[in-house]
Every structure is written in C-alpha cells, then in structure tokens.
Amino acid sequence: MDILYLLIPLSVIAMLGAMAVFAWALDRGQFEDLEREGQRILDADNDAPTVDPDQRNASNPRGK
C-alpha cells in the first residue's frame, strides 16, 4: 500500500509529460497534413533507384 505514495505522483508526472509533448507537437504543426505524408510514404517506392541484379553481383566478387 505504501508503494501507491510513489506510483500515483509518478503516474501524474508521466501523464503531464505526455500531455506536454503532445501540446508541443500540436504547436509545431506535426498533425497538420496527415494525408499528404501518408501518400508520400506509399509513393516512396516509385522514387527508389532500381539496381540491375547483374551490377549488384559484379560489385561483389563472390556473387553473394
């Protein structure tokens, strides 16, 4: 039961810290344009350079 005297204030401090980080992220505009960022992640594969398998094996003398 005595552990509650430690755990309750620590949980309140952790909650206030999480709220402060969330408020900071809101203030910085981290949640402004979620749709565009989601599309950017999905379209990232189209921007990746393609590597020819023969060139990849030529750079490694053992072919692995």
Q: Which helix (H) or strand (E) holds 45?
A: helix 34-47
Joined tokens for residue 3: 């552990």
Per-residue confidence (pLDDT) for residue 1, from 0 to 100: 87
Domain ranges of the chain: 4-45
pLDDT surpasses 80 at 56: no
Per-residue confidence (pLDDT) for residue 59, from 0 to 100: 60
- How many other C-beta atoms can be found within 10 angstroms of the C-beta atom of residue 50? 4
3-class SS at 1?
Answer: coil
Joined tokens for residue 16: 């206030």
Per-residue confidence (pLDDT) for residue 62, from 0 to 100: 63
1-55 pLDDT, tens digit per residue, is: 899 999 999 999 999 999 999 999 999 988 888 788 778 888 876 655 666 666 6
Largest Cα separation within the chain, whole Å, is: 68
Per-residue confidence (pLDDT) for residue 31, from 0 to 100: 85
Per-residue confidence (pLDDT) for residue 52, from 0 to 100: 65
